[in-house]
Amino acid sequence: MIHQNNYKDYVVLKIFFLVNIMLLGLYANSSFILNDSGLLDPRAKDKITQIGQEVKQKLNINIYVDLKGTNGIDMDLPRSQRIKLTREKDKEILKKVKPNYIVLVLALQQMYANILLPKEYKNLIDKNDILDGYVVPLLASHDKNKLSAKASAAVLNGYAQIADSLAEQKGIKLKSSIGSQGKIASTIWKMFMYSVVLFGIVAYFIIILRERKYKNQGNN
């Protein structure tokens, strides 16, 4: 009788162990954040997971995030060597992902931002437009926000735009989309940059006119 009870306990423990392993596997499969270096806000994480799960379900594409404070590459190295090491780092990242992948990669200290994707996806998204319009501007902004706030906004903005671009190409609507919010941030940045350029041009002409005025006064 004691032996039978021990056997039942063993079976129960084994089932409990297997169920936990399965749950852990499901949790791992639902995670689209490979790294975040503690920089992502919990709300940004939740939204990224929500968007990632919907894209996975509707498009069978896994969108990942690899955010690091630093990727360990010395910025004092020659440019060619830094490029080579960066490519090696990217290859290491791709070993962690599943097929049908797109990876938003950022290394803040190295000022590196990239989107890794297979050749067959290159026509689905314009990665330079996403990086230049939705990611880099928020990281480069000079304001009072902490680095973690900037990183969270930039990653979520870029991640959401990747998802929206894929959905648009496939003619699908995403319930998890953040809509025009990312576009508004991009538009504000572009307007700011245009204003800076315009101000620079005006200031340049003012300086030229003043120099001419001083020269004419000197000649007189």
Q: Phi and psi dihedrals of 77, rounded to 5?
A: -70, 155
C-alpha span between 11 and 113 (Å, rounded): 50
C-alpha span between 58 and 34 (Å, rounded): 21
User: For residue range 61-103, what is the model confidence (pLDDT) as tens digits?
Assistant: 999 999 999 999 999 999 999 999 999 999 999 999 999 999 9
| Residues of the chain above pLDDT 90, percent | 58
* Residue 206 confidence class, pLDDT cut points 50, 70, 90: low
C-alpha span between 7 and 17 (Å, rounded): 15
* Residue 217 confidence class, pLDDT cut points 50, 70, 90: low
User: For residue range 87-143, what is the model confidence (pLDDT) as tens digits?
Assistant: 999 999 999 999 999 999 999 999 999 999 999 999 999 999 999 999 999 887 655
